């Protein structure tokens, strides 16, 4: 039976020939994958070779843009106009790189030191988002050519440690490339999916994903339970990867053979030789080549010595990630190896001895992330009804209510996407504005939580305190983007705010927030109880003062002075900020005024009825006259 896909946004029937893809937008290389006959596969080009594109862009003097394999040649012939490692610059400002500018062979726009980075290529400035979009477009165009179908929908992966700005920048790059970005997915989550983990809803697993690529390293600890992928911890080094090994080899050769490359072209040649050495040593014990009349060689033993310090650093990160996640290495059910540099035998051996079991490298380490992204895209396209991929919001979200109390609207660990609404009201007569302050965290008082945003709902029609109905709605979409909307129900006055992804909070932050909420639970509750009493006391004080004023003529002088005294007693108790005093004063005032208030209420009702009768009588008179 064929499926008919409906686009919920437009209500249109979707073209079923359309393909959803998964894209691994990598620092060094980018890949695109799809589901074919129920299996994830890297899309192949005309020569039946996997579409594997170096993440390199060249902008020619004529403005012509070349991407991928062609552009890589330009690293030698035109290094100043050729951009690599653009992923490192996503969502960053020049300030972030002030100490490492020379690492990049290209020029930055120095005038924009505080804003987002821009790169100067042949007298024009380009943003990393723009440059990344060229990579994406190139990949998609190549895939479309090879398959003969149009590609619009895609899932793009990012490292688990990417923050809001970096995720947003990646999403924007997809949009500029003409893609409908279904979701931005964490790379370790995608890798786990590619390995078929988490698809059995009854299994609960702890997974470590060790990803050593060209320029970056990260290790993530995931917990998969009931189809929910939770990133428990992620650690890494955004400046550690295969490039470091290349550089170490170059340094070693330069010292050993006294090499002095004289221009960027010679430097690039040397770089390619070093990389070739590294790759060959993954399969053999020795490497040798020639460069500028020198014979360069490198043995496996020498290479081990050069790379060991870097591998040790990755293991340190691994230990920290484990400790952040609260797990021990023995608790890890699967250790997945991802990224081209995990092909190095020295990496594999080091991990095997650290893990005590064999790490899983059964998938092509360069391909796992793209394959997983394709699976995720397939799920989102609704092709796998049996399998729902869920994420959870890591910390509770709520708003500040009277006295600084955190009122949780979406509790922590709720499965997203989710919507939740609650009704609030004003605390002062005629109150026109209501401040909505949005917080994240587990503590009872907002002062201990994290303020995410605030806005003011204006133009509430004047009404007595407690009468307006203001609905505050929290909505978290599949990417973790939170939108908060406040609506005054009578006039439908509305105000809303969107807060970027909630996922960028680190597992360490979540853990420390939870620990604090437990540690301070008792004192938080005491403070909250005091604030509740103060709120109640203040409300009673205002109500009693109003009552005294409105019912002045019906009260005896004794009643008036007694109520006044009790109000003063309550005010003093409120000033003392001692909960027991306040409670006593509330009780005393309530006890004394309750019977009087009942009587007053009866009288008001009787008055109201009498007034009604009178007006009816007048009406009758008028009718008679008429
Ligand atoms: P990725 O960013 O995951 O594509 O990884 C690219 C890195 O993997 C580059 O530094 C490559 O030099 C490195 N790499 C690819 N193949 C091998 C190999 N056979 N041995 C060692 N490193 C490799």
**577 or 2: which carries more pLDDT confidence?**
577
Q: Which of 519, 550, 572 is at the close of a domain?
A: 519
Per mean pLDDT, which range of 59-68, 168-177, 285-294, 513-522 is the poorest? 513-522
Rounded to the nearest whole angstrom, what is the distance from the C-alpha of residue 163 to the centroid of ligand 1?
A: 25
Q: Does ligand 1 lie within 6 Å of residue 242's CB atom?
A: yes
Give me the residue label for tokens 């490497």: 287
What confidence score (pLDDT) does residue 625 get?
Answer: 34
What confidence score (pLDDT) does residue 487 get?
Answer: 93
**Does the predicted TM-score (pTM) go above 0.85?**
no
- Number of domains composing the chain: 4
Domain containing 539 — which CATH number? Answer: 1.20.1270.10
Catalytic residue among 87, 273, 485, 527: 87
What confidence score (pLDDT) does residue 91 get?
Answer: 84
Q: Does ligand 1 lie within 6 Å of residue 340's CB atom?
A: yes
What confidence score (pLDDT) does residue 371 get?
Answer: 97
What confidence score (pLDDT) does residue 301 get?
Answer: 96
Catalytic residue among 142, 187, 230, 367: 187
| 103 and 58 together in one domain | yes
Mean pLDDT of 423-433: 89
Domain that includes residue 32, residue range? 1-195+366-385
**264 or 282: which carries more pLDDT confidence?**
282
Atom of ligand 1 nearest to the CA of 29: 4
**Residue 282 pLDDT more than 70?**
yes
Q: Does ligand 1 lie within 6 Å of residue 282's CB atom?
A: yes
Q: Does ligand 1 lie within 6 Å of residue 367's CB atom?
A: no
Look at strands 82-83 and 57-59 and give their pairing: antiparallel
Domain containing 176 — which CATH number? Answer: 3.30.420.40
pLDDT confidence bin for 390, thresholds 50/70/90: low
What confidence score (pLDDT) does residue 88 get?
Answer: 87
Catalytic residue among 24, 142, 243, 246: 24
Mutation probe of ligand 1 site: the residue of 238, 340, 347, 367 with most atoms within 8 A of C-beta: 340
| 14 and 160 together in one domain | yes
In a domain, 578, yes or no: yes
In a domain, 420, yes or no: yes
Per mean pLDDT, which range of 380-389, 427-436, 447-456, 571-580 is the poorest? 380-389
In a domain, 353, yes or no: no
Mean pLDDT of 319-327: 93
In a domain, 203, yes or no: no
DSSP string, 164-194: HHHHHHHHHHHHHTT-EEEEEEEHHHHHHHH
| Distance in angstroms (rounded) separating the CA atoms of residues 380 and 312 | 39
Q: Does ligand 1 lie within 6 Å of residue 300's CB atom?
A: no
Which residues are 205's β-sheet partners?
224
**47 or 498: which carries more pLDDT confidence?**
47
Closest CA to 473 of 458, 491, 489, 460: 489
Q: Are 410 and 399 in contact (CB under 8 A)?
A: no
Closest CA to 390 of 423, 414, 371, 362: 414
In a domain, 560, yes or no: yes
What confidence score (pLDDT) does residue 1 get?
Answer: 27
pLDDT tens track for 213-241: 988 899 999 998 877 788 888 888 888 99
Residues in the chain: 626
Rounded to the nearest whole angstrom, what is the distance from the C-alpha of residue 342 to the centroid of ligand 1?
A: 7
Nearest CA to ligand 1 atom 12: 242
Residue 410 token pair: 């979406």
**Residue 556 pLDDT more than 80?**
yes
| Per-chain mean pLDDT for the chain | 85
| 73 and 145 together in one domain | yes
**Residue 7 pLDDT more than 70?**
no
| 379 and 491 together in one domain | no
| Distance in angstroms (rounded) separating the CA atoms of residues 389 and 506 | 21
| 137 and 13 together in one domain | yes
Residues 6+ apart with CB under 8 A from 395: 412, 440, 441, 442, 502, 505, 510, 513
**Residue 255 pLDDT more than 90?**
yes
Query: 105: exposed, middle or buried (C-beta count within 10 Å: 0-12, 13-18, 19+)?
Result: middle
| 140 and 163 together in one domain | yes
Rounded to the nearest whole angstrom, what is the distance from the C-alpha of residue 415 to the centroid of ligand 1?
A: 36
In a domain, 323, yes or no: no
Which residues are 420's β-sheet partners?
474
pLDDT confidence bin for 164, thresholds 50/70/90: confident
Q: Which of 468, 491, 519 is at the close of a domain?
A: 519
Residue 83 token pair: 């951009």
Residues 6+ apart with CB under 8 A from 580: none
In a domain, 585, yes or no: yes
Nearest CA to ligand 1 atom 16: 340
Q: Does ligand 1 lie within 6 Å of residue 215's CB atom?
A: no
What confidence score (pLDDT) does residue 356 get?
Answer: 97
Nearest CA to ligand 1 atom 9: 214
Mean pLDDT of 158-186: 89
Rounded to the nearest whole angstrom, what is the distance from the C-alpha of residue 366 to the centroid of ligand 1?
A: 8
Rounded to the nearest whole angstrom, what is the distance from the C-alpha of residue 344 to the centroid of ligand 1?
A: 8
Q: Percentage of the chain surpassing pLDDT 70? A: 87
Atom of ligand 1 nearest to the CA of 243: 10
| 496 and 540 together in one domain | no
Atom of ligand 1 nearest to the CA of 339: 3
**Residue 467 pLDDT more than 80?**
yes
| 398 and 530 together in one domain | no
**Residue 450 pLDDT more than 90?**
no
What confidence score (pLDDT) does residue 200 get?
Answer: 72
The answer to whether residue 87 is catalytic is yes
| 168 and 68 together in one domain | yes
Report how far apart the first and last C-alpha atoms of the chain are (Å, whole number): 78
The answer to whether residue 571 is catalytic is no
Q: Percentage of the chain surpassing pLDDT 90? A: 49
Mean pLDDT of 571-585: 92
Mean pLDDT of 50-62: 92
What confidence score (pLDDT) does residue 29 get?
Answer: 93
| 4 and 146 together in one domain | yes
| Distance in angstroms (rounded) separating the CA atoms of residues 30 and 142 | 12
Rounded to the nearest whole angstrom, what is the distance from the C-alpha of residue 243 to the centroid of ligand 1?
A: 9
Strand arrangement of the beta sheet that strand 418-424 belongs to = 418-424, 470-476, 482-488, 493-499
Catalytic residue among 211, 243, 366, 444: 211
Atom of ligand 1 nearest to the CA of 283: 19
pLDDT confidence bin for 12, thresholds 50/70/90: very low
Q: Which of 496, 519, 542 is at the close of a domain?
A: 519
In a domain, 482, yes or no: yes
Handedness of CA 422, 428, 430, 432 (dihedral sign): negative
| 25 and 173 together in one domain | yes
| 175 and 253 together in one domain | no
Buried b (16+ CB within 10 A) or exposed e, 503-534: bbbbbbbbbebeebbeebeeebeebbebbebb
117-126: Cβ within 8 A, 24+ apart: 117/89, 117/92, 117/93, 119/83, 119/89, 121/59, 121/80, 121/81, 121/83, 122/59, 122/60, 122/61, 122/63, 122/81, 124/59, 124/63, 126/59, 126/83
Domain containing 291 — which CATH number? Answer: 3.90.640.10
Atom of ligand 1 nearest to the CA of 245: 10
């Amino acid at each position: 039976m064929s499926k008919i896909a409906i686009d919920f946004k437009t209500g249109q029937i979707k073209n079923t020939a359309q393909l959803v893809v998964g894209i691994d937008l990598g620092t060094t290389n980018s890949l695109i994958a799809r589901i074919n006959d129920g299996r994830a596969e890297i899309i192949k080009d005309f020569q039946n070779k996997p579409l594997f594109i170096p993440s390199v862009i060249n902008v020619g003097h004529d403005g012509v843009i070349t991407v991928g394999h062609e552009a890589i040649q330009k690293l030698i012939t035109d290094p100043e106009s050729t951009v690599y490692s653009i992923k490192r610059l996503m969502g960053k400002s020049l300030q972030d790189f002030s100490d490492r500018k020379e690492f990049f062979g290209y020029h930055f726009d120095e005038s924009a030191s505080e804003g987002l980075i821009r790169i100067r290529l042949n007298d024009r400035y380009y943003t990393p988002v723009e440059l990344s979009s060229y990579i994406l477009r190139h990949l998609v165009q190549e895939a479309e050519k090879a398959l003969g179908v149009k590609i619009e929908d895609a899932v793009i992966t990012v490292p688990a440690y990417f923050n809001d700005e970096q995720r947003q920048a990646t999403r924007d790059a997809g949009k500029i490339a003409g893609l409908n970005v279904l979701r931005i997915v964490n790379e370790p989550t995608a890798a786990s999916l590619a390995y078929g983990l988490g698809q059995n809803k009854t299994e609960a697993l702890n997974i470590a994903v060790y990803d050593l690529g060209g320029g970056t390293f990260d290790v993530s600890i995931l917990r998969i339970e009931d189809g929910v992928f939770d990133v428990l911890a992620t650690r890494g080094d955004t400046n550690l990867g295969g490039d470091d090994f290349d550089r170490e080899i170059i340094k070693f050769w330069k010292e050993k053979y006294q090499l002095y490359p004289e221009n960027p072209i010679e430097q690039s040649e040397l770089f390619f030789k070093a990389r070739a050495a590294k790759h060959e040593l993954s399969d053999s014990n020795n490497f040798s080549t020639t460069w500028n009349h020198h014979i360069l060689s490198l043995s496996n033993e020498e290479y081990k010595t050069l790379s060991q310090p870097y591998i040790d650093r990755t293991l340190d990160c691994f230990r920290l990630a484990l400790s952040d996640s609260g797990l021990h290495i023995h608790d890890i059910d699967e250790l997945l190896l991802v990224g081209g540099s995990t092909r190095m035998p020295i990496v594999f051996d080091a991990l095997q001895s650290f893990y005590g079991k064999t790490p899983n490298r059964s998938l092509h380490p360069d391909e796992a992330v793209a394959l997983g992204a394709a699976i995720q895209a397939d799920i989102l396209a609704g092709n796998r009804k049996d399998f729902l991929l869920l994420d959870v919001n890591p910390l509770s979200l709520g708003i500040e209510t009277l006295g600084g109390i955190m009122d949780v609207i979406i509790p922590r660990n709720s499965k997203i996407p989710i919507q939740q609404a609650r009704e609030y009201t004003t605390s002062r007569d005629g109150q026109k504005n209501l401040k909505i302050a949005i917080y994240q965290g587990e503590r009872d008082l907002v002062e201990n939580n994290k303020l995410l945003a605030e806005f003011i709902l204006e133009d509430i029609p004047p009404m007595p305190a407690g009468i307006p109905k203001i609905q505050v709605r929290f909505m978290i979409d599949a990417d973790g983007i939170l939108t908060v909307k406040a609506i005054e129900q009578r006039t439908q006055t509305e105000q809303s705010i969107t807060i970027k992804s909630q996922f960028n909070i680190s597992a360490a932050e979540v853990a420390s927030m939870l620990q604090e909420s437990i540690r301070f639970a008792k004192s938080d509750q005491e403070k909250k109880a005091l604030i509740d009493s103060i709120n109640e006391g203040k409300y009673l004080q205002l109500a009693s003062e109003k009552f005294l004023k409105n019912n002045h003529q019906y009260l005896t002088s004794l009643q008036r002075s007694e109520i006044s005294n009790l109000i003063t007693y309550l005010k003093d108790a409120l000033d003392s900020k001692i909960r027991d005093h306040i409670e006593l004063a509330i009780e005393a005032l309530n006890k004394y005024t309750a019977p009087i208030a009942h009587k007053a209420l009866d009288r008001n009702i009787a008055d109201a009825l009498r007034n009604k009768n009178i007006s009816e009588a007048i009406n009758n008179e008028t009718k008679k006259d008429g």
